[in-house]
Amino acid sequence: MYAQIAVTVPSVSGMFDYALPPELEGKISAGHLVTVPFGKQTVQGVVFRLIVEPSVPETKTVIDLLDSLPALTAAQIALAQWLAGETLSPLAACIGLMLPAGLSQQADVFYQTVDRGPRTVKNGLPSAVHGQTAARLLDLLETRGPLRGRQIDRHFKNVDWRKTAQYLVRTGVLTSQSILPPPSVRPKFVRTAQLAVPPEQAEAAMPELGKTADTLSRRQAALRFLTREPADVNVSWVYAESGCNLADLQELAERELIVLRETEIWRDPLEKISDKESGNKGWGNQELVLTSEQDAALNQILHAFQPLLPNPELPNYLFLLHGVTGSGKTEIYIRAAQECIRHGKEAIILVPEIALTPQTVRRFLARFPGQVGLVHSRLSEGERYDTWRRARLGQLKVIIGPRSALFTPLPNVGLIVADECHDTSYYQSEPPFYNAIRTAQEYARICGGVCILGSATPTIQQRYQASSPQGTEYGGGVRLLELPKRIQTSEFSENFGGLPPVSIIDMREELKSGNRGVFSQALVDALEEVLKKGQQAILFLNRRGTATYVFCRECGTAVRCPRCDTPLTYHSPAETLTCHRCGYTRQMPKKCPVCGSDQIRQYGLGSEKVEAEVGALFPSARTLRWDWDTTRRKDSHEIILSHFTAHRADVLIGTQMLAKGLDLPLVTLVGIVLADVGLNLPDPFAAERTFDVLTQVSGRAGRSSLGGRVVLQTFQPEHYVIQAAAGQDYAAFYARELDYRRQLGYPPFNRLVRMEYRHVQATKAESEAQGLAAKLAKWIESEDRRETTLIGPAPCFFSRLNGLYRWQIILRGPNPASLLRGKNFEGAALSGAPSLSRGASKGWRVEVDPVSLL
Ligand code: ADP
Ligand code: ZN
Ligand code: ZN
């Protein structure tokens, strides 16, 4: 027997055939983690499938099995295969997505000598090949005792001792055992304290609790605090509240006023969250009565869980739940998960980022106590590995996390939910490039599960998929479920249906009246009022593409490419304008081509600048900046948010992150500093993203009975994106944008492939791009694919990144990826490869269905 194995070392990403040693036959199947020789190294790999005939005459042999349970499920293997074909990525890279980061470090083989009396083993060694290494290895194991492979490595630099070890195992001199340690749920202890006497008795004991004034007041404070807390509380909380220490609490325990306990807890990242939540809001037991809209939507979903579909022709397992924030989508996800668990299956709940969706996470925790696993970018490797192991054993029923959570090895996936499905974080913009939303839909199909996408602003493509349940020639087959209204709850009662009013401020008028500042008079007035009332404001800035486009401050016109209508990009110091779609270049104009004004210039604004302006206008306002620079640190999202929520700042200035689903009740003003920045990017998806972010950020205001308003500053008040966002009118936006996409042949009416080349030398990047473009043109011609068009080559909009020059080529057509399949970018065709084969893309980054062309 042979096995096709995906080697999982990052530097060698490929599939290779290996022979199975007789002792492992019957123990190894698809999904198993093994060690294999690779060149001079020993590396880990995942068995992709067993085969009878290897594809090459000479094969090496698998060394060992690392874990008796498969690392990947059959469904995951099928998914990896689909993903590789769909995204043109190497299969090994797709499999790599499904293994937890810590796994390679955890898995190892344990070697031990077989006790046969002193030193007899060496005499019997037959082969000169193994002789010296064997002697050293046995010496080592006899003096040190049993060792792990990685420990032995340190004693054998550049010597392939594993082959020898294998030989010794076969001849019965050594035993080997693969070890993947069980989830390291090292017990962790917390100390808790609780009042042991009636409050009156505690009060009576107060005066003589200590000799010095200091200890007395500490112990009194601690006891008083515990008098107010009926349940066991973590001692660190008591320390924080009273300033006491453990000795003080021990003294109180000695006097039998309190009890100290030690409680064993599992290492569980949820513990931190659920602690805070206990006693809060009572989500756990409260069964809401669904509204009629929720009920109708849920019924369709529940129907899809029935094993026998009424009409198998209609794929009725895919849903799009389209509803504004607060319309009750999360409640539906929870009911669907309950149904999924009732069928004995597990649910995956995808969210853009755990730190930014604490409310959703808490509600799931409350509804499914002890059954939820969190996948979190900030988990330690050990925590992640534990969750992975527990999920694999079927111990977790609900997994919540960002896009990578999709690849948790659950035995029987019955439901996949993607909340805020429009969010770009669902797209992995590094190799292997993939879209977790599209992948989730396919995974649901493979598993026979249900997939629900939820958003207030689904992407055009997602909404289009749901425009007919039968599907269209451009895909589809997704059922649309709509929740058009916010749920009326006490929290929202004052502004029911309550989207905050939006004032559109025409910045051209501001200029005419002599205001050249960042803020309009209206925004300054609104800020002043908010600060006076002791409320909070958010100032939003669209980060992408700030410093770079050129427009007329008189009439709002952005300078566009005469060839392809893409906004041109300003480049200093030469003062040229370049089209990043087709490469057209011109000098910076002196006058506006439309109105003749000389007020034409590039626009640039960063959050530091905005912060400085606020400081200049309102010296006593406390500002907090939330952008890329301030959030690089681990936990910084939480820190910034908790500072702002605790009202330690009055004005929060930030970029895209602000738009996500946060509930900030004191925020009564959202100022959008310049709404049109995102509209003038050379990217067919720019309008969609701008609409999303403007809609979402506007929704941050007025989340409480205090009400709220939005001030939206723009130079293009008549633009359909601005109009639709201000009116929170998704339907209007969708109709306009879909029409525009149809006219220009962009998705969903065609598919795109984006190919990018990066190089330190601008000329090399350009010539490489020209070379590939010529080849692509030839392929299009020779394969008679006139429906596929070539756009570019051109420098990317963000033309330099980390010192590298970027060039790109776009292919557009009904199935542009098929043009590349099995091709080598050097020109030689490769046979039979499901994707571009290893090395075939020659340094090109190839993205199928990209979400941005910048
Ligand atoms: P979304 O996920 O669409 O933002 P949620 O599910 O969070 O909406 O619902 C918004 C609020 O309304 C939450 O506080 C939730 O507890 C509450 N809610 C949801 N459904 C109902 C219902 N049927 N009756 C009363 N309150 C509800
Ligand atoms: Zn152009
Ligand atoms: Zn003009």
- Residue 700 has what pLDDT? 73
Q: How far apart are CA 545 and CA 447, in angstroms?
A: 41
Does position 797 have pLDDT exceeding 50, yes or no? yes
- Residue 427: phi, psi to the nearest 5? -100, 130
Atom of ligand 1 minimally distant from the CA of 290: 23
| Ligand lying closest to the C-alpha of residue 581 | 2
Compute, in angstroms, the gap from residue 795 CA to the centroid of ligand 2.
11
Compute, in angstroms, the gap from residue 426 CA to the centroid of ligand 1.
24
Compute, in angstroms, the gap from residue 595 CA to the centroid of ligand 3.
4
| Strongest mean pLDDT among 172-176, 230-234, 333-337 | 333-337
Compute, in angstroms, the gap from residue 329 CA to the centroid of ligand 1.
7
Question: 87, 85, 39, 42: which is closest to 63 by C-alpha?
Answer: 42
- 676 and 719 Cβ atoms separated by less than 8 Å: yes
Compute, in angstroms, the gap from residue 586 CA to the centroid of ligand 3.
18
106 falls in which pLDDT band (50, 70, 90)? low
Compute, in angstroms, the gap from residue 421 CA to the centroid of ligand 1.
18
Residue nearest to atom 6 of ligand 1 (CA): 328
- Residue 495 has what pLDDT? 44
* 13, 68, 262, 387, 413 from 394: Cα distances, Å: 30, 16, 29, 11, 10
| Ligand lying closest to the C-alpha of residue 660 | 1
**Residue 663 DSSP class:** -
Tens of pLDDT, residue by residue over 262-305, are 764 444 444 454 444 444 444 444 578 899 999 999 999 998 88
- Residue 12 has what pLDDT? 56
The sign of the torsion formed by the CA atoms of 389, 394, 397, 401 equals positive
- 251 and 333 Cβ atoms separated by less than 8 Å: no
- Residue 716: phi, psi to the nearest 5? -130, 65
Q: Which residues surround ligand 3, an ion (CB under 5 A)?
A: 552, 554-555, 557, 592, 594-595, 597
Residue nearest to atom 9 of ligand 1 (CA): 328
313 falls in which pLDDT band (50, 70, 90)? low
Q: How far apart are CA 733 and CA 713, in angstroms?
A: 19
DSSP line for 69-86 = S-SS-HHHHHHHHHHHHH
pTM above 0.85, yes or no: no
Does position 68 have pLDDT exceeding 90, yes or no? no
Tens of pLDDT, residue by residue over 616-673, are 999 988 888 876 555 555 556 666 777 788 788 899 988 766 666 566 778 889 999 8
Compute, in angstroms, the gap from residue 297 CA to the centroid of ligand 1.
14
518 falls in which pLDDT band (50, 70, 90)? confident
Task: Give me 294's structure tokens.
Answer: 């929720």
Atom of ligand 1 minimally distant from the CA of 289: 23
The residue ranking higher by pLDDT, 143 or 354, is 143
**Residue 678 DSSP class:** G
- Residue 147 has what pLDDT? 86
Q: Which helix (H) or strand (E) holds 50?
A: strand 41-51
Tens of pLDDT, residue by residue over 404-425, are 999 999 999 999 999 999 999 9
Task: Report how many helices (DSSP H) and strands (DSSP E) the chain contains, helices first.
Answer: 27, 36
- Residue 533 has what pLDDT? 92
Q: How far apart are CA 830 and CA 815, in angstroms?
A: 19
| Ligand lying closest to the C-alpha of residue 321 | 1
Q: How far apart are CA 157 and CA 346, in angstroms?
A: 46
Q: Ligand 1: which of 361, 487, 490, 495 to mutate, most ligand atoms within 8 Å of CB?
A: 487
Question: 680, 389, 726, 651: which is closest to 549 by C-alpha?
Answer: 680
Q: Ligand 1: which of 283, 322, 330 to mutate, most ligand atoms within 8 Å of CB?
A: 330
Q: How far apart are CA 797 and CA 774, in angstroms?
A: 22
- Residue 633 has what pLDDT? 53
Tens of pLDDT, residue by residue over 470-507, are 655 445 689 999 998 877 655 444 444 467 788 999 98
- The size of the chain, in residues, is 854
Helix axes 521-532, 607-617, angle to 10 degrees: 70
* 106, 433, 579, 816, 849 from 564: Cα distances, Å: 54, 28, 8, 21, 21
Mean pLDDT over residues 805-809, rounded?
91
Report the pocket of ligand 1 as residue ranges, CB < 6 Å: 288-291, 294, 323, 325-331, 487, 489
Compute, in angstroms, the gap from residue 809 CA to the centroid of ligand 2.
13
Atom of ligand 1 minimally distant from the CA of 283: 16
Mean pLDDT over residues 565-581, rounded?
74
Question: 178, 478, 62: which is closest to 300 by C-alpha?
Answer: 478
Q: How far apart are CA 62 and CA 32, in angstroms?
A: 12
**What is the CA 20 to chain-centroid distance, rounded?**
38
Other beta carbons within 10 Å of 446: 17
Side-chain-facing half-sphere of 144: CA atoms under 13 Å: 15
| Ligand lying closest to the C-alpha of residue 568 | 2
Mean pLDDT over residues 551-560, rounded?
81
755 falls in which pLDDT band (50, 70, 90)? very high
Other beta carbons within 10 Å of 519: 23
Compute, in angstroms, the gap from residue 584 CA to the centroid of ligand 3.
21
Quote the percentage of the chain above a pLDDT of 90: 32
Least confident of 161-165, 195-199, 710-714: 161-165
Q: How far apart are CA 448 and CA 201, in angstroms?
A: 62
793: preceding bond cis by omega (within 30 degrees):
yes
- Residue 277 has what pLDDT? 44
- Residue 496 has what pLDDT? 41
Q: How far apart are CA 556 and CA 508, in angstroms?
A: 7
576 falls in which pLDDT band (50, 70, 90)? confident
Residue nearest to atom 22 of ligand 1 (CA): 290
Q: Which distant-in-sequence residues (6+ apart) come within 8 Å of 468 by Cβ?
A: 476
Question: 344, 419, 342, 404: which is closest to 373 by C-alpha?
Answer: 404
- Residue 786 has what pLDDT? 86
Mean pLDDT over residues 719-733, rounded?
92
The sign of the torsion formed by the CA atoms of 62, 64, 65, 66 equals negative
Helical spans, DSSP H, in 305-459: 329-342, 358-367, 381-392, 436-447
Q: Which helix (H) or strand (E) holds 179?
A: strand 174-179
Compute, in angstroms, the gap from residue 602 CA to the centroid of ligand 3.
13
Atom of ligand 1 minimally distant from the CA of 661: 4
Does position 832 have pLDDT exceeding 50, yes or no? no
Residue nearest to atom 19 of ligand 1 (CA): 328
- 454 and 323 Cβ atoms separated by less than 8 Å: yes
- 711 and 503 Cβ atoms separated by less than 8 Å: yes
| Ligand lying closest to the C-alpha of residue 330 | 1
Q: Which distant-in-sequence residues (6+ apart) come within 8 Å of 508 by Cβ?
A: 553, 554, 555, 556, 715
Q: Which residue do the tokens 């051109």 mark?
A: 794
Atom of ligand 1 minimally distant from the CA of 489: 26
Helix axes 292-304, 329-342, angle to 10 degrees: 30
Residue nearest to atom 5 of ligand 1 (CA): 328
Question: 833, 678, 609, 585: which is closest to 88 by C-alpha?
Answer: 833
Average pLDDT of the chain, as a whole number? 81
Atom of ligand 1 minimally distant from the CA of 327: 3
Compute, in angstroms, the gap from residue 331 CA to the centroid of ligand 1.
6
Atom of ligand 1 minimally distant from the CA of 325: 4
The residue ranking higher by pLDDT, 678 or 750, is 750
Task: Give me 149's structure tokens.
Answer: 């492979």
Other beta carbons within 10 Å of 213: 8
Compute, in angstroms, the gap from residue 566 CA to the centroid of ligand 3.
17
Quote the percentage of the chain above a pLDDT of 70: 80
Q: Ligand 1: which of 288, 331, 492 to mutate, most ligand atoms within 8 Å of CB?
A: 331
- Residue 22 has what pLDDT? 87
Q: Which distant-in-sequence residues (6+ apart) come within 8 Å of 761 by Cβ?
A: 805
243 falls in which pLDDT band (50, 70, 90)? confident
Atom of ligand 1 minimally distant from the CA of 332: 6
Q: Which residue do the tokens 């029987």 mark?
A: 412
Does position 208 have pLDDT exceeding 70, yes or no? yes
Q: How far apart are CA 774 and CA 95, in angstroms?
A: 33
Least confident of 177-191, 502-516, 781-795: 177-191
- Residue 257 has what pLDDT? 92
* 179, 682, 706, 800 from 583: Cα distances, Å: 57, 12, 51, 15
Residue nearest to atom 15 of ligand 1 (CA): 328
Atom of ligand 1 minimally distant from the CA of 323: 3
Residue nearest to atom 20 of ligand 1 (CA): 328
Residue nearest to atom 4 of ligand 1 (CA): 326
Q: Ligand 1: which of 489, 490, 660, 704 to mutate, most ligand atoms within 8 Å of CB?
A: 489
Q: Which distant-in-sequence residues (6+ apart) come within 8 Å of 338 by Cβ?
A: 367
Atom of ligand 1 minimally distant from the CA of 419: 2
Does position 133 have pLDDT exceeding 60, yes or no? yes
Side-chain-facing half-sphere of 687: CA atoms under 13 Å: 21
Q: How far apart are CA 644 and CA 664, in angstroms?
A: 9
Atom of ligand 1 minimally distant from the CA of 486: 10
Q: How far apart are CA 742 and CA 750, in angstroms?
A: 9
- Residue 830 has what pLDDT? 35
| Ligand lying closest to the C-alpha of residue 552 | 3
- Residue 439 has what pLDDT? 96
Helical spans, DSSP H, in 428-486: 436-447, 460-465
Does position 122 have pLDDT exceeding 90, yes or no? no
Mean pLDDT over residues 441-460, rounded?
94
| Ligand lying closest to the C-alpha of residue 583 | 2
Compute, in angstroms, the gap from residue 590 CA to the centroid of ligand 3.
11
Atom of ligand 1 minimally distant from the CA of 483: 3
| Ligand lying closest to the C-alpha of residue 288 | 1
Compute, in angstroms, the gap from residue 734 CA to the centroid of ligand 3.
29
Give the pairing of strands 576-578 and 569-571: antiparallel
Atom of ligand 1 minimally distant from the CA of 360: 7
Q: Which residue do the tokens 């409350």 mark?
A: 366
210 falls in which pLDDT band (50, 70, 90)? confident
Q: Which helix (H) or strand (E) holds 42?
A: strand 41-51
Compute, in angstroms, the gap from residue 689 CA to the centroid of ligand 2.
21
Does position 747 have pLDDT exceeding 70, yes or no? yes
Does position 699 have pLDDT exceeding 50, yes or no? yes
| Ligand lying closest to the C-alpha of residue 367 | 1
833 falls in which pLDDT band (50, 70, 90)? very low
